[in-house]
A and B are shown apart, each in its own frame.
Chain A
Amino acid sequence: MIKTNNYISPDIKGKYGKYGGKYVPETLINALEELEALYKKVKDEESFIAELNDLQKNYNGRQTPLTYAERLTKHYGKAKIYLKREDLCHTGAHKLNNTLGQILLARRLGKKRIIAETGAGQHGVATATVCAKFGLKCEIYMGETDIERQKMNVFRMKMLGAEVRPVSSGSKTLKDATNEAIRDWVANVKDTYYIIGSVVGPHPYPMIVRDFQSVIGNETYTQMLEHEGRLPDYILACVGGGSNAMGMFYRFLEEDVKLIGVEAAGLGLQSDKHCASLTLGSDGIFQGMRTYVLQNEDGQINEVYSVSAGLDYPGVGPEHSFLKDSEKVSYVSVTDDEALKATVDLSRFEGILPALESAHAVAYLEHLMPKTNRSQIVVVNISGRGDKDLNTIIKYTEEKL
C-alpha cells in the first residue's frame, strides 16, 4: 500500500532480520496464509485503497493536524516542537487507523465474527466501533486489572454492542488478554477474524498493522514540508507494542531524522515494575513472534507494569527489535512520574490532554530539549487523548498530595 524508500521489510518469511516470523500452533497457519494472500492482493488495489481512504477521511476524521506547540516551544527555548494529533482521530486514538483497514480485510474474507484483545481499551473501542459500523459480531478480551482501571472504555465497548470478556489468568493485563484471544482464534478460526491491535503477533500482522498505521508518518512528512519546508530533526513516539511509533517512523526510516521510541520505565528501571522490553528485555519467542521480551532466567515471561495500561506489555513489535539492533531508531524510557508530569504540562501549556501512553513521548522532551537548538525541529506523536485516563490521574494525584 505505501511504498517509502529503500528500506524493505519483512522478508518473504515475515522476518525482520532474525525477528518476527510465525511461531504459532499449526492450527493458525492456514488462517495466517489466507490473510497474507488476501492482503498482498488487495493492498495495491484501487478499490481497496479508495474505500479505506474514504473511511479514513469521512469516518475517522483524517488527516489529523500537525500542531505547532508554541508555548511549549517557548518554555524550553530550544527547538521548535510540533505535535501530530492522533488524539483527534475518531474514538480518541490512532487505533482506528488500523481497525478500519483490518475490518475491510475481514469483510473480504467473509468472516462474521470479530475478536480482539485490548489493554487500555482503546483498541477494544476502535474494534467495537468498526464492528458496529459494519454490523459484525464483536468480542473483546480484556484483563481484569485493565477492566478495573479503564472502566470508561469498558462501558464504551458495551455501548457499541461488543461483548467484553474478562481475562483472569496471569497478570490479568494485555499479555493475558492476547493469549486468550489467540486461543479463541485457534478454536474458531473458520468463521472468526482476529483484529490484532498493535504491530505484534505472527506474520503478517506486524506488517499489516504497520502499513495501516503508516498514514501517521506519511501525513507528517507532507505536513512538515508544508509548515517548514523541511523534515524534522527528531521524532518522538511512545512504544508499548509499538504501533503508533511504527506508523510514525516507517516513512522516515531512510531519512536524516533521529527517531526515538519511548518505553515505559514504570516505577524505575531498577525496580521490576516496568515494561521497557527493548531497553531491558532479551531475545525471545512470544505470542507468535521472535522479539525482545522481558523474561526471567528460565525464559518465563515476566509480569510487567506501567501506570499506562496501553504500554503494559512484556514484548514489543518485531520490527522495533530489528530497528533497535540495526540502530535505525533509539529506544529510551521514562517513568510513571515523568509521564504524569508531562500529562499536566501539555494540558497547561497547550490545552491538550494526552493519553498516559502518549505522555511518555512528551515526557522525553525534558531529556531531549536541552540538547537541541533553536534552528531544529522536534515532532512528538500524540497517539491518543487522555480523557480515558482521568480516573487514574485523579487517583495518582491524590496519592501524591
Chain B
Amino acid sequence: MRLCDHISEINKKDEKALSVFLTAGFPEAKNFSDLAISILDSGADLLELGIPFSDPLADGPVIQNSSLIALENKVNIKKVFEYTSAIKQKADKPIVLMGYANPIVHYGVENFFSDALNAGANGVIIPDVPIDEYDSFYGCGSKGLDTIMLTTPYSTEERIQKADELSSGFIYCVSVYGTTGERVNFSEETIEVLSKTKSIIKKNKMLIGFGISSAESIKSIAPVCDGVIVGSAVIKRLFEYREDKNLSKVTSYISSLKEACIKS
C-alpha cells in the first residue's frame, strides 16, 4: 500500500496518523529492529527512520547526539536497509527514510532509491534538498519511492504549491522556526499558519512535525493536519531507556500519543 493510501485509511477511521522518528541504530545497533517493532506495536502508524549523519543541520541537540551515537555504533546506509527489511518482515506499516544529502550522494542516488525500495521502504525525506534542488537531486527518478518535501511557516503560497506538486505520500509541514526539538505549546499564530498551509495543499496528505511532544500539543494541531510526526521527544525517552532499560515507559508514551490522535 502506498503512503497516501495508508494515511487515508487511518483518516477514514477519524484518526490522525502518528509517525514516529527513530535514529537508525540508536540507542543500540543490536536489537534495533526489535525496538522499532515495539514502537510500531504500541501505536505508531508510520516509522520515520533517520540515517545518521555527522553534520545534521536541521536537527537540534537531542537528535544530533543520537545521530553521533548511531555513527559510533557503525550504522551506515547499508545497515539502515537491513533494519528496514527486518522491520518490514514483522510489521506491516510504512517506513520513510530520512537522511541528509551527502551520505546518499556518496552511496549513489539511483542505487539508494532502488535499494531502499528493495528493502521495503515507502518514501524518502531529505531535509537539505529543497524544491530548488529537486531536479539536480531527484533527476534520475525516485523509482516509485514516495518523495516527501517540506514546508515551513515561511513558505510562500507558490512554494507550498510546488512542494505539493513534487511530493507524493505526504507533505512534511514544519510547524515552527528552528531545528527539531520539543516545544511547550503552539501559539494561535502558528495554528493559523498551519491551517492556511493545509488549505493550499491539494494533492497530498499533510503531516506536521517539529516541536510535538505531548497529547496536548497533538490535540491543539490535530484539526489542521492529517497526522503528526514526533521525533526529539521520543529520542529523549530513548536516552532514558538507554540508562534504565525500561522500555515500557517508551511504549506507553507512544500509546498516549496515539490515543491523542484518535480522540482529538
A residues with a Cβ closer than 8 A to B are 13, 18, 21-27, 29-30, 169-170, 175, 179, 182-183, 186-190, 282-288, 290, 293, 295, 297-301
Judging by beta carbons under 8 Å apart, are A183 and B57 in contact?
A: yes
Partner of A301, one of B55, B58, B136, B154: B55
Judging by beta carbons under 8 Å apart, are B103 and A29 in contact?
A: no
Given contacts A179-B55, A183-B57, A299-B105, contact A22 B133 (CB under 8 A): yes
Judging by beta carbons under 8 Å apart, are B105 and A25 in contact?
A: no
Judging by beta carbons under 8 Å apart, are B55 and A286 in contact?
A: yes
Q: Is residue B76 contacting chain A, with contact meaning CB distance below 8 A?
A: yes
Given contacts A25-B57, A285-B105, A301-B55, contact A186 B178 (CB under 8 A): yes
Partner of B154, one of A23, A170, A189: A189
Judging by beta carbons under 8 Å apart, are A29 and B132 in contact?
A: yes
A290 to B109, CA, bound (A): 14
**Nearest neighbor of B76 in chain A, beta-carbon distance:** A298
Q: Is residue B215 contacting chain A, with contact meaning CB distance below 8 A?
A: no
Judging by beta carbons under 8 Å apart, are B136 and A170 in contact?
A: no
- Find the residue from A175, A179, A188, A297 having the highest chain B CB count within 10 A: A179
Q: Chain A interface: which of B22-30, B85-93, B122-130, B222-230?
A: B122-130
**Nearest neighbor of B172 in chain A, beta-carbon distance:** A26
Partner of B177, one of A24, A27, A169: A27
A387 to B156, CA, bound (A): 48
Judging by beta carbons under 8 Å apart, are B106 and A284 in contact?
A: yes
Partner of B128, one of A23, A30, A170, A187: A23
30 residue pairs A–B, Cβ–Cβ below 8 Å: A13-B132, A18-B136, A22-B133, A23-B101, A23-B130, A25-B174, A26-B131, A26-B149, A26-B152, A26-B174, A27-B152, A27-B154, A27-B178, A169-B64, A170-B55, A187-B178, A283-B105, A284-B106, A286-B55, A288-B128, A290-B136, A293-B102, A295-B102, A298-B77, A298-B106, A299-B104, A299-B106, A299-B107, A300-B53, A300-B102
Tell me the interface secondary structure of chain A in the complex. mixed
Judging by beta carbons under 8 Å apart, are B55 and A25 in contact?
A: no
Judging by beta carbons under 8 Å apart, are B130 and A175 in contact?
A: no
Judging by beta carbons under 8 Å apart, are B57 and A299 in contact?
A: no
Shortest distance from the beta carbon of B16 to any chain A beta carbon, whole Å: 22
A182 to B64, CA, bound (A): 14
The 10 closest A-B pairs by CB, nearest first: A299-B106, A187-B178, A299-B103, A285-B101, A298-B76, A300-B54, A25-B58, A30-B154, A26-B150, A27-B152
A13: chain B residues within 8 A (beta carbon): 132
A297: chain B residues within 8 A (beta carbon): 106
Given contacts A13-B132, A21-B133, A23-B133, contact A186 B102 (CB under 8 A): no
A288: chain B residues within 8 A (beta carbon): 57, 128
A186: chain B residues within 8 A (beta carbon): 57-58, 177-179
B130: chain A residues within 8 A (beta carbon): 22-26, 29
B residues with a Cβ closer than 8 A to A are 53-55, 57-58, 60, 64, 71, 76-77, 100-107, 127-133, 136, 149-152, 154-156, 159, 174, 177-179
B104: chain A residues within 8 A (beta carbon): 299
A285 to B261, CA, bound (A): 37
A170 to B56, CA, bound (A): 11
Partner of B132, one of A22, A282, A284, A287: A22
Judging by beta carbons under 8 Å apart, are B133 and A30 in contact?
A: no
A299 to B71, CA, bound (A): 11
Judging by beta carbons under 8 Å apart, are A24 and B54 in contact?
A: no
Judging by beta carbons under 8 Å apart, are A179 and B57 in contact?
A: yes
A285 to B129, CA, bound (A): 10
Judging by beta carbons under 8 Å apart, are B128 and A25 in contact?
A: yes
Shortest distance from the beta carbon of B102 to any chain A beta carbon, whole Å: 5
A290 to B102, CA, bound (A): 9
A175: chain B residues within 8 A (beta carbon): 55
Partner of B155, one of A26, A187, A290, A298: A26
Shortest distance from the beta carbon of A129 to any chain B beta carbon, whole Å: 28
A27: chain B residues within 8 A (beta carbon): 58, 152, 154, 174, 177-178
A190: chain B residues within 8 A (beta carbon): 177
A285: chain B residues within 8 A (beta carbon): 100-102, 105, 128
A283 to B103, CA, bound (A): 11
Shortest distance from the beta carbon of A333 to any chain B beta carbon, whole Å: 23
Shortest distance from the beta carbon of B5 to any chain A beta carbon, whole Å: 26
**Nearest neighbor of A171 in chain B, beta-carbon distance:** B54
Shortest distance from the beta carbon of B112 to any chain A beta carbon, whole Å: 10
Judging by beta carbons under 8 Å apart, are B102 and A284 in contact?
A: yes
Judging by beta carbons under 8 Å apart, are B178 and A287 in contact?
A: no
Shortest distance from the beta carbon of B193 to any chain A beta carbon, whole Å: 13
**Nearest neighbor of B104 in chain A, beta-carbon distance:** A299
Judging by beta carbons under 8 Å apart, are B150 and A187 in contact?
A: no
Judging by beta carbons under 8 Å apart, are B76 and A187 in contact?
A: no
A169 to B136, CA, bound (A): 30
A248 to B152, CA, bound (A): 39
A22 to B130, CA, bound (A): 8
Q: Other CB < 8 Å A-B pairs besides A26-B127, A26-B149, A285-B100, 16 of them?
A: A21-B132, A25-B128, A25-B152, A26-B131, A27-B154, A30-B155, A186-B57, A186-B178, A187-B177, A284-B105, A285-B101, A288-B128, A293-B102, A299-B106, A300-B53, A301-B54
A293 to B55, CA, bound (A): 13
B136: chain A residues within 8 A (beta carbon): 18, 21, 290
Shortest distance from the beta carbon of A275 to any chain B beta carbon, whole Å: 15
